[in-house]
A = this chain, B = another copy of it.
């Protein structure tokens, strides 16, 4: 909790270098919408390793990070390429230990959401009606707990409090307050549950002006750093700013199936680019021949 402070307006490179250390527990949230791809790419460029990656829906960005070996462990509830199929780098890590074994801590969506909510609420655990009759209970970090009033048995899950949460939002104002709208997933809870929160934004504005439903605000004093990264969610999208690049998700299936094709793609588009703007240029340029 970084209270009594104001978010620092900085570059993505500086934000990641300052706050993301080897071995950290990092949550990069975004429920299909507003996924912080640019931040993930910057972590790949800087090479932080041994990370515990946390995310309800690890998708292509975590596939990339797992594929280059950033992650020691994954805490998650659904790991697929949305609308397409498997995450091949994730599967390769789990099925064949490539590039190295990946420890899994897996929950249901309801469990993960409750865990973040407990973290944001300063509670050590959350209760839910969950995991009933499943084999998940054997592998998830959970317990059962009896209601002190009715005796009913419920699931208990430990709070999630990442070292760093990274999200992408539509806007920040000049005081560092962040606004996002549309599908905001579990981002508010993930941000408030973390010790340190970094936000990339589409733009810095004089006043937050939502252009869609469900406006969520995170005040400056809950955030450590804000970096303007227009298009920073690509191939995910930012409602009001960009559309989802569905073709990229389909293309990713082919890129990620093969270790060498994947490696080449990372070399060219992430390691071979300086920042998100040049990544975006490289993607446009390369779109035809990937």
Q: In the complex, which residues of chain B have a beta carbon less than 8 angstroms from the beta carbon of A127? A: 123, 125-127
When the two chains form their complex, are residues A149 and B154 in contact, meaning their CB atoms are under 8 A apart? no
A148 touches B143 (CB 8 A): yes
A287 within 8 Å of B (CB atoms): no
Name the residue of chain B whose CB is nearest to the CB of A150.
Answer: B124
Bound-complex Cα distance A125 to B125 (A): 14
Query: Do the beta carbons of A149 and B122 come within 8 Å of each other?
Result: no
Answer whether residue A84 sits at the interface, using C-beta atoms and an 8 A cutoff: no
A 136-170 binary contact with B (CB < 8 Å = 1; else 0): 00000101010111101010101000000000000
Chain A contacts with B in 171-221, Cβ cutoff 8 A? 213, 215
| Number of copies of this chain that the complex holds | 2
Instruction: Give the complex CA separation of A55 and B69 in angstroms.
Output: 54
Name the residue of chain B whose CB is nearest to the CB of A146.
B145
Instruction: Write the residues of chain A forming the contact surface with B, with a CB cutoff of 8 angstroms.
Output: 122-129, 141, 143, 145, 147-150, 152, 154, 156, 158, 213, 215
B contact residues around A156 at 8 Å (CB): 147-149
Sample of 9 A–B contacts (CB below 8 Å): A123-B128, A123-B154, A124-B150, A124-B154, A125-B147, A125-B149, A126-B127, A145-B145, A213-B215
Closest to A125 in B: B147
Which among B128, B148, B213, B215 is the interface contact of A145 at CB below 8 angstroms?
B148
Question: In the bound complex, how far is the Cα of B110 from the Cα of A281, in angstroms?
Answer: 51
A182 to chain B, nearest CB (A): 14
The answer to whether A129 and B125 touch (CB under 8 A), given A143-B148, A149-B158, is no
Distance, CA A127 to CA B126, complexed state (A): 8
Query: Hey, which chain B residues are within 8 Å of A145, CB to CB?
Result: 145, 148
Q: Report the separation of the CA atoms of residues A148 and B123 in the bound assembly, to the nearest whole angstrom.
A: 12
Question: Are the C-beta atoms of B149 and A124 separated by less than 8 Å?
Answer: yes
Which 6 A-B pairs give the minimum distances between C-beta atoms?
A: A143-B148, A124-B147, A149-B158, A124-B150, A125-B147, A148-B156
CB distance from A145 to the nearest CB of B (A): 6
The distance in angstroms between the C-alpha atoms of A141 and B149, with both chains bound, is: 9
Nearest CB of B to A1, in Å? 15
CB distance from A208 to the nearest CB of B (A): 11
| Chain B residues whose CB sits within 8 angstroms of the CB of A213 once the complex forms | 215
CA distance A154 to B122 in the complex (A): 11
In the complex the two chains form, is B148's CB within 8 Å of A125's CB? yes
